[in-house]
Amino acid sequence: MRIFFLVLLLVAGILILVLIIGTIFALVRSPDANALFKLGKARTEQLSPPDIPYSDVRIFSGLGRLRIPLSNSSVMILTIAFPYQADDIAFTEELAVKIGDFKNIATDYFSSLDEYQITYLDEEAAKREILKLYNSNLRLGQIEALYFSDMMIIDASN
């Protein structure tokens, strides 16, 4: 037990010594000095190689969590999101204006499904159909992909 305590005390002492030396080194070192070492690649190198211009891709989640009444008296809880180019100001503004339309399109699509289609919902087919409906409603750009999250059906028959 005593050896364990001495080893633990030695490890704590080494850690304290490393912290003190590192603090003194940081205080003495010039603020504009180069990094001592680098781990991995710089983020700009990974995102934007010299021959590919940087683009600001963000995820549009402005639709929030939808509560969609279904034909079998159940309720679907669904969150829909999609990537968009944030540097395309006109398209970004169009997306913000169309939030109500997007909610209505998703609500109309899912609430029109019969009980069998709801039970055996093909999520990829639903994404393709809603994506097609969303894009037909847009004039200044196109949405490339949809993401569904928080997708659950609350059964009202219980």
Q: Specify the 3-state DSSP secondary structure of 82.
A: strand
Instruction: Determine the Cα–Cα distance for residues 156 and 152; give it in Å rounded to an integer.
Output: 13
Q: Helices marked H in the chain — which ranges?
A: 2-28, 43-47, 89-97, 99-111, 115-119, 123-136
Go through the domains of the chain in sequence order and give each one's CATH number. Answer: 2-47 (no CATH), 57-154 (3.30.479.30)
Whole-number mean pLDDT of the chain?
87
Residue 99 has pLDDT above 90, yes or no: yes
Question: Angle at Cα 38 formed by Cα 33 and Cα 40, nearest 5°?
Answer: 150
- pLDDT for 100 beyond 90: yes
Write out pLDDT tens, residues 129-145.
999 999 999 999 999 99
Q: Record the pTM.
A: 0.64
Rounded to an integer, the average pLDDT of 11-26 is 93
Which residues fall within 8 angstroms of residue 101, CB to CB, at 6 or more apart?
137
Is residue 158 predicted with pLDDT exceeding 80?
no
pLDDT value at residue 153: 87
Residue 102 CA to residue 133 CA, distance in Å, equals: 9
